A and B are shown apart, each in its own frame.
Chain A
Amino acid sequence: MPISRAELSEEFFDRTSAILLRQPEPQYLYAMLFKRALGIALNIPSMIGRQPYEIGGQGAPYSAPERDRLMLSADLGAELFAAQVNFTGEPGHTMKFNRPRFTDSTYTQAAREIGVNQSISTTPLVAGSEQALLTIKRFAGPYGATSVQPYGLDAFDSTMGVHNLSQFVGTHLGRDFDKTLDSFWVTLADLASTTVYPLGYAADNDITAKGQAPFTYEQQSRVSKIQDEANLPTLGDGRRIMVVSPTGKKQLKDDPQFARYCEFHKELNPMFPGWFGSTAEYHYFMSNTLTKSSNSSSVNIHKAHAIAPGVFLGGIGKTIGVRAASDDNYGETAKVIWLAYLALGLADNRFVTKVAYSEDV
């Protein structure tokens, strides 16, 4: 019997490399937009816990949460925000934004002509206004099964890990913060007043098979027409924003009408890099965190967003950061959460249109 690990296990042990492998993660496009538009960031301290017993950890560095993200798309522009509010130091939980509300009446010459000897009414009319509300709230994470719960780090073992465990906790907090923000904004954008389906379909459940109702250039043109007819604003170049999933991009590439249009235009021809940027009506962005839900035929229906500038309202309060619990076992356990006072809202749900299409075969 040769001497081997099987026979002499006392002579062998395994090691954990300091190299940190990639965990594929999405870009969290909307979270990045919000953070950049309001100039906020979740700053993770190098040592976590309450003073004077912060836990620093040692070992190989643990990567920042952004390292593993697939940057599918350029960043969205801050012009999607109608207003950014800083609630710090000001009274009130809610900021109200007024918008004119026009009342239509009769606009014919016959109605407006003031005839000879005709008395003009002296009864005043009421002119209206409507409001959008932006309320600041307190949010925290991470979230366990039913409630917000902290990450806990033991001071004793934090000095013996392969990687820096305080950075480890910070990375997980940062990822949770970004994913939470992104989810908030996707849910808000899903409150769009209108959903546009591929031609021949009017509801999620009309689509009964995968690949049956792909995203098409015609659909994009119809969305553009709807937004034009609704008099929604555009960016300076006359375009609006379209945020689609990679499935939408692939389906547009396979769309015969789009192929005909771009056949002789290298900048739009999907055989060449960089084709997926802009059409005459929209600047295109991609996100892997848009809503995708199963319908009654078990077909996933994607919901893209066609957005006019000024759709969002955002606000911040005093606190955005990492907080430690006072319950720290005499300084031996750091329990931390992220905590933020944030305000998120839609200025107007008419400014975003949901664009639905089915998953591919």
Chain B
Amino acid sequence: MSFPAQWVTAPGGTGDFTSAPVAGTTTPGTALSTANIAHGTLSCLFVLLADTNTLTMTAKFQVSDDQTTWYDLAGDAQNPANVAQATGTAGADTAVSRVLPVPTAAIGWKYIRAAVVNGVATGASIDTYAMTFHYRRFTGF
């Protein structure tokens, strides 16, 4: 744990599906260096708005050591599947906000990023996402 508490809020990326990603596409956010992150304090706020009818949006994390090759980070050794956070309906939809804890082993990699996978339908500009990392900076105490 860190003392004195030094909370850090870092952008994880925002955008929409204007690029029309087909179902199953991973849309990544902004990379975050894992240096100076206190163990067990990193989480990410996902604000996902799936407005296209039937489109699903699922959050996930990816890790990398070089910001070039990124690997999906599973929740634990059983490699559980991620669960959709937002689903579009025929009418107007509202954004769904959820804070997901980042698996603690992630800080063994140099970089982490949040990403969104759209399912069922092709995305459109009305489908939006915003991710924000929160953590406490490592201070050694």
Contacts and interface: CB of A to CB of B under 8 A. Distances in A.
Interface of A: 198-201, 206-214, 254, 256-257, 259-260, 297, 361
Contact of B8 (A198, A199, A212): A212
Contacts of B11: 208-209, 297
Nearest to B33: A200
A220 to B, nearest CB: 16
B10 interface: yes
A212 B36 contact: yes
Contact of A211 (B8, B34, B141): B8
Given A254-B139, A297-B11, A206 B6 contact: no
A257 B35 contact: no
27 contacts: A198-B35, A198-B36, A200-B35, A200-B110, A206-B31, A208-B10, A208-B11, A208-B30, A208-B31, A209-B8, A209-B9, A209-B10, A210-B8, A211-B8, A212-B10, A213-B33, A213-B36, A214-B36, A254-B6, A254-B139, A256-B138, A256-B139, A256-B141, A257-B140, A259-B140, A297-B11, A361-B7
Interface residues of B, dominant DSSP: loop
Contacts of B141: 256
Contacts of B137: 211-212, 214
B37 to A, nearest CB: 9
A254 B138 CA distance: 11
A221 to B, nearest CB: 15
B32 interface: yes
Contacts of A201: 33, 35
A361 B36 CA distance: 14
B96 to A, nearest CB: 24
A209 B11 CA distance: 7
Nearest to A260: B140
A294 to B, nearest CB: 14
B130 to A, nearest CB: 14
Interface in B92-141: 110, 133, 137-141
B38 to A, nearest CB: 11
A208 B32 contact: yes
Interface residues of A, dominant DSSP: loop
A211 B135 CA distance: 11
A92 B28 CA distance: 59
A208 B11 CA distance: 6
A201 B4 CA distance: 23
Interface in B1-32: 4, 6-11, 30-32
A297 B32 CA distance: 12
Contact of A212 (B30, B33, B110): B33
B35 A199 contact: yes
B6 A361 contact: yes
Nearest to A360: B6
Contacts of B35: 198-201, 213
A46 B135 CA distance: 59
A210 B6 CA distance: 11
Given A206-B33, A256-B139, A361-B8, 7 more contacts: A198-B35, A199-B35, A207-B33, A208-B10, A209-B8, A210-B8, A256-B140
Nearest to B11: A208
B61 to A, nearest CB: 16
A11 B110 CA distance: 74
Nearest to A212: B8
A171 to B, nearest CB: 42
A254 B6 CA distance: 11
